Amino acid sequence: MEEALEITSAEVLPALLDLPWQLPLREWPEELIAALPRGISRHMVRFVKLDGHILAVKEIDEALARHEYDMLRQLNRLNAPCVEPLAVISHRFTASGEALNSVLITHHLPYSLPYRAVFGQAAIRHSTVDRLIDALAVLIVRLHLHGYYWGDISLSNTLFRRDAGEFAAYLVDAETGSLQATLSAGRRENDVDIARTNIVGELLDLQAGGILDTGFDAIAIGNRLQAQYSSLWKELTSEESFALTERWRVDNRIRRLNELGFDVGELAMKTDRNGTFLSIHPKVVDAGHYSRKLMRLTGLDVEEKQARRMMNNMEQFRMLPENQGQPLSVVAHQWLAKVYEPTVRAIPRELRGKLQPAQLFHEILDHRWFIAENAGHDISLPEAVQSYIENVLKDRPNEAAVLTETNSQLHPDIASSLSEDWSGYMA
């Protein structure tokens, strides 16, 4: 006797019952499917439009589905950068009674890009590749600080969002992961070594397919990941000793950590037996120093480097004669009402979905600086907005909307997949 369909869900979404669970995922009707870029995957994955949501549905063994669902839920509770799990559907059967694999359902991460879509852009620059690798290094460090061992780090298992002039990386696949109280140096090094090996292989595959220029040194890029990870981990966790007369270095250490986007929960400090040297060991809370600060002041929820850029702009606004001496909380409210919101509203409605509002604001500020440099005089923000719309934004691909047409800016092997399901969303 067949068992009844079982749904384990993190939230109530009755429309899940309307999906054709009796069909293998590859046979689902096209009217349900959201056409998004695909990558390489071990499992069948489809993007589904349901009740105003876009969901990633992955067909997988039940034990693996439940493990990944639990891992993603725990990581979300820790505020780790990863996709958000929705449900596990098990006890699926075809109309003829044949057993089907379970599925894991996660929410689609808006404005996110798989590495193949980023690397497939025409004439990708070395600096862009470096920024992607640096973002992945930050992601690995953040997960390791939480005690998470990934076990299968790769570009395929990561999504990227634009974050001001950089990228922010998000974990997608948690099948092989495990959470521990702390990770040993050996486990961390093994995780990073796996990442390096996988990334070198992925880049060599892109070069073999003509998607990535042969001028890119895949091994050097893999080595960069290891170096960036080691440097960041040392900065965040190492103990520092200095003379008691140099206590200002405590403030400098905290400032450096804040500049990297991390908050410090507490400092363990001790002196040597002679009381001549002080040692500090910071306890890092997590990334998101500027984004949390901006959230407290304005309610805006944005990426870390976007938040840092916006805080800098707010400080410039604070220097205006009418704002000097005002508390930051008051200035923040005025900046939001007089600078940020009018700038975003000035973007035509049909173009606003191309980028996140915070990314639009960042790019407008960059564009304003660029055209002012060329003009040799200051440019007002409204002028910069209009110029940005006419000369930049109109030609940008839409990173929020469902993609249904190939993008001519992408390599043909990448562009041909944009009208198909994004199978690489969850490797």
Q: State the pTM of this model.
A: 0.77
- Examine the pLDDT at 426 and tell me if it is beyond 60: no
Burial (CB count <10 Å: 0-12, 13-18, 19+), residue 137? buried
- DSSP per position, 68-127: HHHHHHHHHHTT-SBPPEEEEEE-EE-TT--EE-EEEEEE--TTEEEHHHHHTBTT--HH
Model pLDDT for residues 2-52, shown as the tens digit of each residue: 568 898 887 878 889 889 999 999 999 988 988 765 555 678 888 898 888
The DSSP symbol for 349 reads: G
The candidate with the shortest Cα–Cα distance to 237, out of 272, 278, 270, 285, is 285
Answer whether 108's CB lies under 8 Å from 56's CB.
yes
Whole-angstrom distance, CA of residue 20 vs CA of residue 17:
8
Average pLDDT score over residue span 380-390: 92
- Examine the pLDDT at 82 and tell me if it is beyond 90: yes
Average pLDDT of every residue of the chain: 84
- Examine the pLDDT at 351 and tell me if it is beyond 80: yes
Residue 348: which H helix or E strand, with range?
Answer: none
Q: Which of 39-53, 75-89, 198-212 has the lowest mean pLDDT?
A: 39-53
356 — pLDDT class (breaks 50, 70, 90): confident
Phi, psi of 223 (to 5 degrees): -65, -35
R_g over Cα of the chain: 24
